[in-house]
Amino acid sequence: MLGGEPIRKRPFTRWPIFDHRERAQLEDVLVSANWGGFPSPNRKASEFAARFAEFQGVRCAIPTSSGTTALEVALKALGVGPGDEVIVPAITFAATAYAPVACMARPVFADVDPATACIDPRSVEQLITPRTRAIVPVHYAAALADLDALTETARKHSLAIVEDCAHVPGARWRDRGAGSWGALGCFSFQTTKPMTAGEGGIITAGDPELEQRCQSLINCGRRRPGDTFEEPLLGANYRMTEWQCAVLLSQLERMPEQIEHKSRQAARLRSRLEAIGGIHPIARDARLTRETIYIFLFRVDERKLGVSRNRFVRAMRAEGIPCGVGNDPVYRSALFPADSPQYLAACQLAGAPNPPRPFCPVAERLFEHELVAIPHEVLLGDDADVDDIVAAAAKIASCARELAGAKLDRTN
């Protein structure tokens, strides 16, 4: 940014990763002439659902068209509807807050824990009302929400937990899979995720009736022979195609090795970044017994570092290191307009016709001044890749005062 040579001149690992296994799986679907989920038997979908359920340590799994529809279906399967409230974290993608609105329920925004950027159980406790039906903790970046505290809160108040596991397929909390702690878990296979088929999602379930309800809701309300739930359900076509399931079967084969490799590289990156004044990596919780990384997060102390977080990120990019700032508080996101008719109608049904603008101070501070996010594929390379990230951060820190005072084309 000040005229020198960048640390990094070659690209990092390209994402997504694929090989002959995906090609063979896709060829198998092609020649089968069975490409969708209805009316033909969905062989790849059934196989992928079974293998993913085993991978996560849950009874069953239901493939869906996206992580967004997985969240919507999960809440509808639990009976969330008009007049209800669902507590969601402030830092997440808009889909987490959209799902309650799709049920005509009001999303209520909880603040996050500064140590993890995940939902803060203390904030959740303060937001529970007689209208609250569910909590949707988001396992964010590489951290899992405090499932011990949230499980106790849900038990005490008779609330359902729907885990948003979009970032962390394969992760385990105290040797138990993410998506197995709540009533239902929801995963995403969108292009950037640690497992991907371009799009797609999946719901994990332990309760047979909830599994039946989810299956019906994704399949236009149809019932399978042997389904026993009572009330009629209005569903939609949220099925995953055989093409996507075929790709995901191959992606799943790579996951254990990729998880371990990225976790080792993350440990190396954390230990080296900690030596740079003003930089604080998000620590790995001891209860996180298998760590899946979608985003490597660290915080900067602008005062100690001597330069703003925004200018630090801009400088990292100039050094050839891909990075960003994570998700903005969802209630500020352009993808979740607070004046949308759907959101306002959901609030009105929940007795809040003129909802106040949410304010979650920790989430606001993290997004505006502290968080730096590095994509997971960067950690799929070798030690030299990690060392380049550290070298870039150290270089910026060493000339932070000069960088802060420089007049640039766009100041932050």
Residues in the chain: 412
d(CA 302, CA 279): 9
Mean predicted confidence (pLDDT) in 72-85 = 98
Cβ-in-10-Å burial (0-12, 13-18, 19+) of 145 comes to: buried
How would you classify residue 162: left for phi > 0, otherwise alpha for psi between -120 and 50, otherwise beta?
Answer: beta
φ, ψ of residue 154 to 5 degrees: the values are: -65, -40
Residues 6+ apart with CB under 8 A from 6: 318, 319, 320
> How high is the pLDDT of residue 126?
98
Average pLDDT, the chain: 96
φ, ψ of residue 186 to 5 degrees: the values are: -130, 130
CA-based nearest residue to 191, from 27, 8, 376, 349: 376
**Three-class secondary structure of residue 295 per DSSP:** strand
The pair of structure tokens assigned to 300 is 């900067």
Residue 38 scores a pLDDT above 80: no
Domains, in order of start, for the chain: 20-250 (3.40.640.10)
> How high is the pLDDT of residue 410?
59
Strands 132-135 and 85-89: parallel
∠ CA 166-292-127 to the nearest 5 degrees?
50
Mean predicted confidence (pLDDT) in 110-119 = 98
CA-based nearest residue to 233, from 248, 250, 220: 220
d(CA 337, CA 64): 25
Rounded percentage of the chain residues whose pLDDT exceeds 70? 99
Mean predicted confidence (pLDDT) in 266-286 = 97
Strands 132-135 and 160-164: parallel
The CB density around residue 101, as the number of other CB atoms within 10 Å, is 21
CA-based nearest residue to 412, from 113, 244, 404, 217: 404
Question: How does pLDDT run across 131-181, given as a tens digit for each residue?
Answer: 999 999 999 999 999 999 999 999 999 999 999 999 999 999 999 999 999
Cβ-in-10-Å burial (0-12, 13-18, 19+) of 320 comes to: middle
Please, are residues 92 and 75 in contact by the beta-carbon 8 Å criterion? Answer: no
> How high is the pLDDT of residue 3?
85
- How far CA 57 is from CA of 61, 201, 243, 246, in Å, comes to 10, 17, 24, 21
CA-based nearest residue to 43, from 296, 240, 231: 240
Mean predicted confidence (pLDDT) in 5-21 = 97
Per-residue pLDDT band for 355 (boundaries 50, 70, 90) equals very high
Mean predicted confidence (pLDDT) in 203-228 = 96
Per-residue pLDDT band for 412 (boundaries 50, 70, 90) equals very low
